[in-house]
Amino acid sequence: MNGWKTRYFAILAEFVRTVEHSVSAEMKELGLQLVGLSAAEVLEQHEECVKLLLSNAEPEDRMTIVHRSLLFITELMEKRPNRFETVLQHMDSGVALFDGTGNLRFVNMQMSKVLQLPRRSLVGCSLRQLFLHRELRLSIRKNLLRIYKGMIYYRRYNDEFQDASGRFLLISISRIDELDGDYLVSVKDISEFKQIEQAAFQNDKLAMLGKIAAAIAHEIRNPLTSIRGFIQLLNPYLKEIGKQEYGRIILSEIDRANDIIYEFLNSSKPFVPMKQKVSIRMLLKDTIMLSESEAVMKGCELYQEIYDDDLTVAVDVKQVKQVLLNIVKNAMDAIQEVLNERKGLIVISASRENGYALITIRDNGKGMERATLNRLFDPFFTTKEAGTGLGLSVSYRIISNHGGTIHVESQIGEGTAFMIYLPFVE
């Protein structure tokens, strides 16, 4: 690493840790050292340093890091206006500068993307004009009003929220005396860090589930086996008195309890995959064959699309089939609730994407709300009356143990798409 890059990280880290807004002598020296460098070089190093700091930070500290790092580069470029603007224009954070009366003096390209408005229609706007902008989307307007009210009524200058497209955004507002009292507003997309955080949280929950399952499963299963045996012995007597239906119901309920315990045990196993090379076409063909009869009974049409015949993965075929069948079954259930409105359709497709084989299972069922999506892979979370809430959490773990991941997109009234990424092999 070049000398200036090492110094840049060290001085930035120190600036971020300092609670008070201060410019050190080392920072001034660094500013002079950057004079001969292009804005692109400085920006690249700055963003690498910020990512490194964020990756090692606690969630509650991220807001401070984003805000302080933006102040840092603002101070660093203050005496070179052209370079200052060039750097801010190409940052991955949205940046806006308001003067003391609330007029927008500067906005970078990233902030215009966040607001989904062209820069030329923003610069010079007052806060009132911005809120009433005729091209501003309703969801964005609501978020702006929420942030403004938080600042005015609760003195909340830092916030985190999720926008309509599902992105997690960190927003920070501060007044900078060195910029003639302008208000600096920054917005940072932290969706990537949220995904890492949620994945870690998901793994913790699955580990906890494993401990619970291992502790209680056998203790429950043994007495159930004994009860089942005694009920079978009592069946002739129940038949004599015309109560054989009671015996059938008891046995079916015991079998259902055993099925739940079996899922518990599956969720607690380490799931070491017995991998073998298999074509995606074969996996999808088997999945459709196993699901066809149930789909016909439930009024659903299964359709397959293969965009790359050479797609091959190394997987435990039994485990991955379990995942695919579980998601297809969920799709059928989701379609049942809208079957009177339209014909049920489930499309299973496969394509190649960035070194992964992507299997997409898309249905035109009822769709899911964002609150449901956020808890979809939680153990025991289910929206079905007879569901255990373990199927998708186990599926998530299986795909994770194969080095892959699952993403879900859904719209109420339109349907849901499960996207399963598995490492591609030649």
Tell me the per-residue pLDDT of 20-75, one tens digit each, with 9 for 90 and over.
555 567 777 777 777 667 777 787 888 888 888 887 777 777 777 877 787 787 77
Higher pLDDT: 343 or 263? It is 343
Structure tokens belonging to residue 132: 């009433």
Burial 189-206 (b: 16+ CB within 10 A, else e): bbeebbeeeeeeebeeeb
- Residue % of the chain over a pLDDT of 70: 84
Fold matches, 3-188 and 276-423: no
Residue 199 or residue 107, greater confidence: 107
Per-residue buried b or exposed e for 388-413, using 16+ beta carbons within 10 Å of the residue's own CB = bbbbbbbbbbbbbebebebeebbeee
Please report which confidence band the pLDDT of residue 1 belongs to, taking 50, 70 and 90 as the band edges: very low
Answer yes or no: is pLDDT of 297 > 90. no
Q: What pLDDT does 361 receive?
A: 95
Q: How confident is the model at residue 158, as a pLDDT?
A: 76
Residue 238 pLDDT > 50, yes or no?
yes
CA angle 201, 207, 211 (to 5 degrees): 145
Q: Supply the CATH classification number for the domain 3-188.
A: 3.30.450.20
CATH superfamily of 276-423: Histidine kinase-like ATPase, C-terminal domain (3.30.565.10)
User: Given pLDDT bands bounded at 50, 70 and 90, which one contains residue 394?
Assistant: confident
Angstrom distance (rounded) from CA 356 to CA 419: 11
- Per-residue pLDDT at 169: 80
CB atoms within 10 A of CB 253: 11
The structure tokens listed for 394 are: 């186990």
Dihedral Cα 132, 133, 135, 136, nearest 10 deg: -70
Determine the residue type at 219.
Answer: E
| Lowest pLDDT segment from 218-227, 283-292, 357-366 | 218-227
Of 238-247, 269-278, 416-425, minimum mean pLDDT range: 269-278
- Alpha helices, DSSP H only, in 121-190? 127-131, 138-154
Beta bridge partners of 186: 95, 172
Is the Cβ–Cβ distance between 281 and 393 less than 8 Å?
Answer: no
Could you give the angle at which helices 81-89 and 62-76 cross, rounded to 10 degrees?
150
Q: What is the mean pLDDT of residues 368-384?
A: 80
Lowest mean pLDDT among 77-86, 136-145, 308-317: 77-86
Average pLDDT over residues 255-274: 67
Query: Which of the pair, 286 or 389, is modelled with greater confidence?
Result: 286
pTM above 0.75, yes or no: no
Is pLDDT at 117 greater than 80 in this prediction? Answer: yes
Q: What would the 3-class secondary structure string for 205-228 be?
A: HHHHHHHHHHHHHHHHHHHHHHHH
Contact 332, 294 (CB under 8 A): yes
Name residues whose C-beta falls within 8 Å of residue 381's C-beta, 6 or more positions apart in sequence.
375, 389, 393
Indicate the range of 98-107, 208-217, 295-304, 309-318 predicted with least confidence.
208-217
Distance between start and end Cα atoms, the chain: 36
Mean pLDDT of 331-336: 88
pLDDT of residue 346: 92
Task: Find how far residue 248's CA is from the centre of its chain.
Answer: 44
- In the chain, what are the domain boundaries? 3-188, 196-268, 276-423
Answer yes or no: is pLDDT of 148 > 70: yes
DSSP label at 345? E
218 has a pLDDT exceeding 70: no
Query: Which residue in 211, 260, 205, 217 sits closest to 378, CA to CA?
Result: 205
CA distance 199 to 325: 23
Local confidence band at 327 (pLDDT 50, 70, 90 cut-offs): very high
DSSP annotation of 103 reads B
- Cα–Cα distance measured from residue 284 to residue 304, given in angstroms and rounded to the nearest whole number: 8
Lowest pLDDT segment from 221-225, 260-264, 338-342: 260-264
**In the predicted model, what is the mean pLDDT of residues 177-205?**
72
In this structure, of 43-47, 385-389, 420-424, the range with the lowest mean pLDDT score is: 385-389
Confidence of residue 349 (pLDDT cuts 50, 70, 90): very high
In this structure, the number of other CB atoms found within 10 A of the CB of residue 259 comes to 11
* Cα four-point dihedral sign 132, 133, 138, 140: negative
Strands 300-306 and 344-353: parallel
Q: How confident is the model at residue 406 (pLDDT cuts 50, 70, 90)?
A: very high
- For residue 261, give both structure tokens: 């315990």
pLDDT number for residue 269: 57
State which amino acid sits at residue 15: F
